[in-house]
Structure 1
């Protein structure tokens, strides 16, 4: 992979295609702008449409590390940015006591006692290409964590009280994803580019599953993509995404199944629908509609 970053949208799209991630013009443009400006990119959309995979694929296409922060309710700076290495601090104190050395506060709160978490790791990545920092499912975190992210999003910098402000020499490509379980604060959105990811067209999804499940027959791939499209229109709480279509196709391939029928769908429905209530709805409506 070349050391140079893509200089236009088409080049980036080709590199992403080379790692089996197919993008439309809108997403390719958003990723290119995020890379070259640089500016954080917020990707929103239903679960399973390829938001997380976009960050993974971008890192592969650029031949640079992917640094991932998985958000959840209650996440804080100690898990996202840094924490102090208390055992090492205690060891330094005991060593000083044994030698009669007097320790200053700065001796215990220096870089050698700091454990870098994903955000700090991304800021301190040595280059030459920027790391891709994935802040995944940011909507699962709380308002306080969103406020904590603002300095990073605006300035590619963070402030550690004992050390001061740390700025990135090679600002990371920051990609935030959200399943839109709640609205993010306007202050976060103002600092980001924005792209909504929808389910792909039937033709694009067919291209995707063929790339991810090599050697699959055209007939089975077409049948699965058509069945998944029908499921998305059903009255269910969790429509299947691209990831579920790929999982289902892989399961069918492993079982040696070459075509879909009602019996096969009934046996493997758990590969594509992950809620019992959704499976009940689909079975009650008749599995024949998926064939």
Structure 2
């Protein structure tokens, strides 16, 4: 596959999918594909772990098969289930033909009666897919133990059918928000990648890529403000996803600069707890970065252009009067 010839190509393809990847990320993805190892991606919530899997699936032009983890998720829901209703109908219809139990058993426990869940679906796919096991840290340790066989040999055991090997080894992405540690056996089978909060330059570039309508100066001040409040003891630190939502909000509100009044009105888009909003509002004046001269001149120039456009659109009889 051309995408995985070298890390530079991976970085360029991800950029084409509006995902900014640094050299370390691109190199780790390259090694995960070449070594046929799962990639365990850890980091704070909302920094782009799940989006990495989506971007890779789009770049590979293949399917994204997602297993969303949660407490109580078991092997049956992750791997397969038997289609009991279909089996029952087949048994009832076979009674008329006096089919023996041995023959009947062979029929009803076949691939035709199998309901593929995400893991088996990825293994049975006729082409390589991206298998996303999302938020693995939310699942129980029993599921983690089950995944050890599946992710080491890319095969699973189904008692009625035997061992099922993957037709094509998928690109496996496991994500975690670091709510619990994994076993050494799981970590040994995976390559590890940690995605931290981006730098000011990286986050500004992400906003300009995802929200092209925003002005560069406003994006820079917005990121500087967010990176400052991330240092506060908040109940929930704003993520990159919330940064993008706030950037789109400011564009919708027609903001040209970061003004205290507008910030107060829209803080609930950025912060999800009232106590965090109150904490930021108390220090708001000192948190908003000062407007530089370049930004002021840019806003003045835009205002002049808008005024000139408005004046040019006035009827001829109005242009004779000085309003």
TM-score relative to the length of structure 1? 0.95
In 1: Cα distance, 2:187 partner to 2:285 partner: 42
Partner of 2:108: 108
Q: Residue by residue, what CA displacement relative to the aligned partner does 1:158-215 show, whole Å, maximum 9, x if unpaired?
A: 1111111111121000010000001111111110000111111111111111111122
Contact 1:235 1:281 in 2 (8 A): no
Write out aligned runs for 1:267-278 (5 A): 267-278=265-276
More deviation, 274-283/187-196: 274-283
2:84 match: 86
User: Structure 1: any 5+ residue segments left out of the alignment?
Assistant: none
The residue matched to 1:182 in structure 2 has which SS?
Answer: coil
Contact 2:39–2:193 at 8 Å: present in 1 too? yes
| Equivalent residue runs for 1:36-75 within 5 Å | 36-75=34-73
Moved more, 263-272 or 169-178: 263-272
- 1:143 to 2:141 alignment: yes
Aligned residue for 1:75, secondary structure, equals coil
C-alpha distance in structure 1 between counterparts of 2:273 and 2:78, whole Å = 31
Q: Secondary structure of 1:214's partner?
A: coil
Question: Residues 67 and 118 of structure 2 are in contact (CA less than 8 Å); yes or no, is this contact kept in structure 1?
Answer: yes
Count of aligned pairs between the two proteins: 287
**Structure 1 residue 287 displacement after superposition:** 4.9
State the Cα distance separating 1:239 from its structure 2 match.
1.1
Structure 1 CA distance, aligned partners of 2:81 and 2:67? 15
The 8 Å contact of residues 65 and 131 in structure 2, kept in 1 or not, is answered as yes
Residue 154 of structure 2 corresponds to which residue in structure 1?
156
**Structure 2 residue 117 is the aligned partner of structure 1 residue 117:** yes
- CA-atom RMSD, angstroms? 1.4
Deviation of 1:288 (Å): 4.4
In structure 1, what is the Cα distance between the partners aligned to 2:64 and 2:18? Answer: 17
Ranked by relative contact order (alpha carbons within 8 Å, sequence separation 6 or more), the top structure is 1
For 1:45 and 1:83, locate their aligned partners in 2 and report how far apart those are by CA, in whole Å.
33
Say which is worse superposed, 179-188 or 273-282, in terms of deviation.
273-282
After TM superposition, the score normalised by the length of structure 2 is 0.86
Q: Hey, what does 1:207 align to over in structure 2?
A: 205
- State how 1:227-238 maps to structure 2 within 5 Å: 227-238=225-236
CA displacement 1:145-166 (0-9 Å, x = unmatched): 1001001111111111111111
The CA deviation at 1:36 is: 1.7
Question: Structure 1 or 2: larger helix share?
Answer: 2
Of stretches 77-86 and 279-288 in structure 1, the one that deviates more from structure 2 is 279-288
Give structure 2 stretches of 5+ with no counterpart.
290-323
CA distance in 2, matches of 1:269, 1:98: 69
Preserved contact between residue 265 and residue 287 of structure 1 (Cα < 8 Å) = no
Does structure 2 retain, via aligned residues, the 8 Å contact 1:262–1:288?
A: no
Write the distance in 1 (CA, Å) between the matches of 2:181 and 2:251. 39
